[in-house]
Amino acid sequence: MRIFSFKTKFSDIIKLMNRINITPTQIKDTLYTQILPEVFKPARYTGGEIGSKIPKEDTEVRFAFTFPDTYEVGMSHMGLKIMYCLLNEMQGVTCERAFAPWEDMAKLMRQYNIPLYGLESFTPLINFDFVGFSIQYEMCITNVLYMLDLAGIPFRSSERNDFDYPLIIAGGPCTVNPEPFCDIFDIIIIGEGEVVTPKLIEIYKEYKGRTKEEYLKAIMNIEGVYIPSFYSVDENNSRTALVEGAPLEIKRTYIPDMNEVYYPEDTLVPFIETVHDRVMIEIMRGCPRGCRFCQAGFIYRPVRQKRLDLLKKQIDDQLTSSGYEEISLSSLSTTDYMACTDAISYIMEEYDNDKVSISLPSLRIDSFSLGLVDSIQKGRTIPLTFAPEAGSQRMRDIINKNVTEEDILSTMRQAFENGFTKIKLYFMMGLPYETDEDVLAIAELMQKIVDIYFELKLRPKDLSLSISVACFVPKPHTPFEFFAQDSKEEFDRKQRLLIENVNRKVRLTYHDSSLSVLEAAFAKGGRNLNDVIITAYEKGCYFDSWGDYYKEDMWKEAFSAHGLDFAVLAKREYDYEEVTPWDFVDIGVSKKFLVREAKKAEQQKTTKNCYEACSDCGINKDGGKCNFEI
Ligand code: SF4
């Protein structure tokens, strides 16, 4: 029997249900008898996978690690697996998982009054102490609201008084500019969650039974913790602390020694295929290269490498416990890991009989990288992917790619000679100072690569050459944070220019320009976007990063309802001296360095990578230099 009408707001339904106290057993029974037989991929919603944890009987604190995308995407995220195991190893703490249900599931959950629940115990999220969202990309933010809505939790921190509701936390790379979504969260973690989250939980144990404000005050000075409700911000991004002692600058927190970073001994093995079905081991954090468009290259500084003996142990633990037949050595620039060759040799020698294959993401365009891929091929045809990012040398110097055309062409020649015929290259368009000649240079470069293939007299039908051209999005805490983005019309024109000029043998894919413009508006935006996000969700926007689900018109209406236009926000430039919405976040790299790099971009001057020379980015506040020995 339905208790509520279709017109009842779902959050009201849940509040009422909370009163009637739906139990995990009732949720589980309804799922198995009524809902799961009707949905696509029911294993997304059942938990119980190999490596999943049974909730502790003596649980004092319940934490839900919540990923605002599908199960398949979330279960491929290494951070989830790390945090899940780390928190479950804490005394008295149970960590469960929740993902964004696909719309068929959400519809039935609404129909049967089932709130969003933790996969381990079927407990409604509303009954947890913490619900922690991982914000990996800007456009997942409406899915946070979608999940809160399904859980019956009010959207804004200000609507969740005291401990009647869980504390809603955000972490992940997008929190380096938390302002566009800060009203939703009680606590925002800036930096590496492994450091902060256990501290938040330990202090919470002491503050249970007291007020939410008392608890938030107790944690507000922990490095990496930002409590948005403790500040007011004016239209010039000037900030005032509303609570005595709240810091005006929030420092990103990170673990200086990679060998001290927690890594689980076992891993979760899903029942269904996910985006990455393999063991993923992090070999290094940070990147030494300093490409000027790349946010990760700045917000994860400095480079920190894992010792080889520790890496070998983690490889053994993970492969043995999971039974996976593929392992990925992951980092932002895998071939910059100084023990990369040794790590590969170890896996090949130790796991050759088990037929374990190795995948190497993020390769540089050079013969060393090619040699590594060649050594792991074992008779398979591995597709090669490289990212020159720009077609002309002028543009590659502006972005500090530090790769020459000679490097690219000689690597391609060597690849063809070694039997690699499936090659994908990644480029961007709309970069600062870009001209039409730079766009056409992508087509010219591809023509040279096609010519090399035919010069070598290889079988034409074997060649599979593709390029993916993304629209540049200026990101906070990079030297390009000051720049405007191209308009949608300009992106569309440049895309047509490229399509008309690229060799027909090259398969070209490109990004949705409108979605990229919206992404830039959120990357560079301020507090006024909180209302827009809520309006957009209420109009029906969610799963925005899933191509067909992006509803441009609804987003335009949502911005317009608040007197804003995302096309205008994306084109916003910042002067070097101007205060940006994210200036209060100290990621470690100094603004002085970012300005220096932005000026060098204008002069088409490059900066050496950190291994070759230190360019004094400010990460070592005492002026000390990084030590890259492992
Ligand atoms: S201090 Fe120097 S070596 Fe270290 S990350 Fe910054 S630029 Fe690179």
d(CA 515, CA 398): 25
- Find out whether the beta carbon of 308 lies less than 6 Å from any atom of ligand 1: no
pLDDT tens-place string over residues 391-418: 999 999 999 999 999 999 999 999 899 8
Q: What percent of the chain has pLDDT over 70?
A: 96
- Find out whether the beta carbon of 13 lies less than 6 Å from any atom of ligand 1: no
Q: How many CA atoms lie within 13 A of 574 on its CB side?
A: 28
Least confident of 14-28, 204-218, 222-236, 460-474: 14-28
HEC string of 152-167? CCCCCHHHCCHHHCCE
Q: List Cα–Cα distances, 340 to 223, 305, 335, 382, 467, in angstroms.
A: 32, 10, 6, 18, 27
Pocket test for ligand 1, best of 333, 596, 620, 628 (most atoms within 8 A of CB): 620
Per-residue pLDDT, averaged over 577-604, amounts to 97
Per-residue pLDDT, averaged over 532-543, amounts to 97
**Helix segments in 359-455, DSSP class H:** 367-376, 393-398, 405-417, 436-455
Please give the number of the atom of ligand 1 that sits closest to the Cα of 303.
5
Residue 377: pLDDT band with limits 50, 70, 90: confident
> pLDDT value at position 17?
58
- Find out whether the beta carbon of 588 lies less than 6 Å from any atom of ligand 1: no
- Find out whether the beta carbon of 299 lies less than 6 Å from any atom of ligand 1: no
Q: Are 105 and 308 in contact (CB under 8 A)?
A: no
Please give the number of the atom of ligand 1 that sits closest to the Cα of 620.
1
Could you report how far apart the first and last alpha carbons of the chain are, in Å? 64
Residues 6+ apart with CB under 8 A from 141: 68, 135, 174, 180, 181, 184, 522, 533
CA of 80 from ligand 1 middle (Å) equals 28
> pLDDT value at position 5?
36
- Find out whether the beta carbon of 348 lies less than 6 Å from any atom of ligand 1: no
- Find out whether the beta carbon of 464 lies less than 6 Å from any atom of ligand 1: no
Per-residue pLDDT, averaged over 475-489, amounts to 98
- List of domains in the chain: 10-230 (3.40.50.280)
Report CA dihedral (620, 623, 624, 627) to the nearest 10 degrees.
50
CB atoms within 10 A of CB 436: 11
pLDDT tens-place string over residues 146-181: 999 999 999 999 999 877 899 999 999 999 999 999
Q: List Cα–Cα distances, 386 to 74, 170, 362, 383, in angstroms.
A: 25, 32, 7, 10
* Higher-scoring residue by pLDDT: 64, 269: 64
pTM recorded for the entire structure: 0.94
Tell me the pLDDT of the chain averaged across its residues: 92
Query: Is pLDDT at 16 greater than 60 in this prediction?
Result: no
- Find out whether the beta carbon of 596 lies less than 6 Å from any atom of ligand 1: no
> pLDDT value at position 627?
83
